[in-house]
Amino acid sequence: MTFFAEIFEGLRISWAAIRANRMRSVLTTLGVIIGVLTVTMMATAINGLNSTFQTSISIMGADVVYVQRFGWFMDRNEWLRSRNRREITMEQVRGVERQLTTAQAISPVAMTRKDLVYQRRNGGAVQIIGTTEKQVETGGLNMSQGRFFAAAEVEGARPVCVIGDDVATRMFPNESPLGRRLQVGDRTLEVVGVVEKRGRFLGMFSLDEVVFLPVTFFFNAYEQRPDLRIDVKVGSLAGIEETREELIGIMRKLRKTPPGAPDDFAINQQEAFVQNFNKVGGTIAALGLFVTGLSLFVGGIGIMNIMFVSVSERTKEIGIRRAIGAKRRTILLQFLIESVLLCVMGGIIALLLSAPITLVVALFLPAALSPSIILIALGVSITTGVISGFVPAYRASQMSPVDALRTE
Amino acid sequence: MSLIDIQRISRLYQMGTETIHALRDVTLQIQRGEYLAIMGPSGSGKSTLMNILGCLDTPSGGKFVLNNSDVSVMDDNALSEIRNREIGFVFQSFNLLARSTALQNVELPMIYAGVPKSERHKRAMDALSAVGLADRVHHRPNELSGGQRQRVAVARALVNRPSILLADEPTGNLDSKTGVEILALFEELATKGNTIIVVTHEEEVAQHSRRIVRLRDGLVAADEILHKNGAAAPETPVFPPIHASAHAGPPPVPPGAH
Ligand SMILES: Nc1ncnc2c1ncn2[C@@H]1O[C@H](COP(=O)(O)OP(=O)(O)OP(=O)(O)O)[C@@H](O)[C@H]1O
Ligand SMILES: [Mg+2]
């Protein structure tokens, strides 16, 4: 009862004091505003990265391994050691297709970039993927229109293609793309299907800016012996290790790697991404924590400073309250309330500011001001208020009533 | 039993190497219901004594018994409670909270005492009307005259029904007419049985009281009883006599009458 009445009185007085020094209060909270803003942005960014990462991984399929000439994350030394590796050829793909027993689907991938033209419309360069019908499984593709090209069309190197969702909307805004003749580089292909929208990979490049065509056609039309990637869908996460082992054996045989020599190819896996992401995420988080901590520290010092000023300005008031019967803890509480109120105001302003910023960020990352972020921001504000207000408030509470009353 | 019983109290201030004896050796008994003035030249220790009586300050030596409890051994919390419940202060410079209204100022002691909101409001309103400020309750101190401010201070001092009203130069910042008004208010409170101690250096102010204690150099130089006749009988009580029901003891016996 007394406690709540005291809190209420403390709030009333603090609010009056803050209003009486409006300019000063706003300037003081600036540090906290920046601090809390950093916290909010950090949390939003990390949240956003996480969810992007999760969706990106699930787009690509977590149970797919990629046999490639190079590893995804190589340092300089590894790069120097491996740059003379031979390409992965279609013969090796055939070999893997024949010998591998532990996989659900295997498809080669040849990549290049070509300009798209349809009638008068120039679509610019997009990613061209030469592959087989098995890409539907290895890439986890769903069709929104038409069909994927068939095994026979791969066999016959037919000029057919399947386009990504962005390509479809861009090149064929007002008509169905199916059956249209799309110019890819200097060849013309018939569109037989459109892949369902897949979004951006890690928020960076669109997976829908893409044209799939038979890998055999790719050889004939664009590049005879490109370096290939072999996508292997294992079918289960648990089977990945076994498949890896088997793949290594088969590839070494196919590429005639001398016994004892290291693998002259790499088997890439989403997990590498996970690890790398965690490393990057950890770095970002650490950096963010540092910046956040620093700005909150500076903000907290500002609050502490102004609380010292407030206490010394109101020494007389402290004396009056003590004479009337306020206990030490009442005075302590009152000034703590004031500093917490200042910080919470800063926090609220920061949240208001971060709302539009989040909207801008949301253009690149799936960022949103979640309730948990709001709670974190307010929690951080309150903590800053308590910590930075404590010493001034404690000092106020320890003043002798007579000395406090004597000041003018 | 005296309401206030101080025995050989002293108060020293250490200023560097020099020791200042604000109070040297003061012994004093004050009974419930007394209206007493403390006089003396500047620097004689009046305010120091007042602060000790009001439990704002603790003596360097001696014993202080208030209402049968030994104040000299109490901790800060207990002293705060005594100030809150047993003592009402009125200061020369009013000492109201500038950012609070008259009503909020008067409610404050009750907030610290844990009085529920509705009762708090009612009692504060009553106290303010008792000092004639029923129409000024929502004014802030800077919207009130000096006399009105001092009335708010008196209302605040009395709202928790303390045992003692302590006033340090209550008329010092008021013109003589307003000063007289405040003194009349004190007179009325005294008649109702409130214990009042006024510090003053004005003989005129002191003459309103029933007993004058004169200090000189931190010592009691004189302690005189004023014999008055014609103290008006009370009609409607301004404030109910403090503790009137709880301590229906014998009427105040001035010291020296033993
Ligand atoms: N905090 C302090 N530190 C040092 N000396 C003090 C302090 N407070 C009071 N004194 C000294 O104690 C003595 C008594 O002071 P006090 O304030 O009680 O005088 P007073 O009788 O109230 O005087 P006045 O009529 O001028 O108010 C003075 O000499 C004063 O200088
Ligand atoms: Mg004085």
**pLDDT tens across A386-403, in order?**
999 999 999 999 999 999
Identify from A324, A328, A334 which residue to disrupt to test chain B contact, counting B C-beta atoms within 10 A and taking the largest count.
A324
pLDDT given at position B233: 41
Mean pLDDT of chain A: 88
Tell me if chain B has a CB within 8 Å of the CB of A327: yes
Q: CB A324 to CB B51 under 8 A? A: no
User: Comparing C-alpha atoms, which of A298, A389, A301 is closest to residue A341?
Assistant: A389
CA distances in angstroms from A26 to A22, A299, A346, A374, B228, listed in the order given: 6, 12, 8, 21, 61
pLDDT computed for residue A285 by the predictor: 78
Round the average pLDDT of chain B to a whole number and report it: 87
Ligand nearest the Cα of residue B38 is: 1
Question: Using 50, 70 and 90 to split pLDDT, how confident is the model at A46?
Answer: confident
Bigger pLDDT: A77 vs A253: A253
- pLDDT value at residue A48: 75
pLDDT at A8: 87
Cα dihedral: A196, A202, A206, A210 (round 10): -70
**CB-CB under 8 Å, A13 with B109:** no
Instruction: State which ligand 1 atom lies nearest to the alpha carbon of B50.
Output: 18
Least Cα separation, residue B258 to chain A (angstroms) = 34
* A72 in Cβ contact with A268 (< 8 Å): yes
Q: What's the average model confidence in pLDDT over B248-256?
A: 49
| pTM of the predicted model as reported, rounded to 2 decimal places | 0.71
Nearest to A325 among B80, B95, B104 (CB): B80
Q: Which residue from A17, A326, A402 is facing B56, i.e. has the nearest CB?
A: A402
Mean per-residue pLDDT, B215-238: 70
Local confidence band at A81 (pLDDT 50, 70, 90 cut-offs): confident
What are the tens digits of pLDDT across the range B36-79?
A: 999 999 999 999 999 999 999 999 999 999 999 999 889 999 99
What is the residue whose two structure tokens read 């209402």? B67
Least confident of A262-271, A333-342, B87-96: A262-271
**B86 CA from centroid of ligand 1 (Å):** 24
State which of B44, B57, B169 you would mutate to test the pocket of ligand 1, scoring each by most atoms of that ligand within 8 A of its C-beta.
B44
Token look-up 């609050």 returns A303
> CB distance A322–B56 less than 8 Å?
yes
The residue-averaged pLDDT of B204-221 equals 93
Residue-level pLDDT at B238: 47
Whole-angstrom Cα distance, residue A211 to residue A116?
9
Give the distance (Å) from ligand 1 centre to CA of residue B44: 7
Q: pLDDT value at position A44?
A: 80
Give exposure, A1-29, as e/b (b: 16+ Cβ within 10 Å).
Answer: eeeebbeebbeebbeebbeeeeeebeebb
Q: Residue range A49-64: average pLDDT?
A: 72
- Domain B31-60+75-257: assigned CATH number: 3.40.50.300
Alpha-carbon gap, residue A194 to A191, rounded angstroms:
8
A305 shares contact with chain B (CB less than 8 Å) = no
Identify the residue with better confidence: A205 or A284: A284
The minimum CA-CA distance between B157 and chain A, rounded to whole Å, is 8
Of the listed ranges A72-81, A346-355, B42-51, the least confidently predicted one is A72-81
Q: Return the residue in B82, B97, B154, B169 with the most chain A beta carbons within 10 A, the one to mutate for interface testing.
A: B97
Give the burial class of B242: count Cβ atoms within 10 A of its Cβ; 0-12 exposed, 13-18 middle, 19 or more buried: buried
- Give the other-Cβ count within 10 Å of B178's Cβ: 18
Q: How far apart are CA B226 and CA B206, in angstroms?
A: 10
d(CA B215, CA B205): 16
Inform me whether the pLDDT recorded for A216 exceeds 90. Answer: yes
Establish if A229 touches chain B: CB-CB under 8 angstroms.
no
Q: How many alpha carbons lie under 13 Å from residue A288 in its C-beta half-sphere?
A: 17
CA B182, A315, A333: angle at the middle one, nearest 5?
Answer: 110
Phi, psi (degrees; rounded to nearest 5) at B140: -90, 160
The residue-averaged pLDDT of A99-113 equals: 93
The alpha-carbon gap from B35 to the nearest alpha carbon of chain A, in Å, equals: 21
Distance from the Cα of B77 to chain A's closest Cα (Å) equals: 6
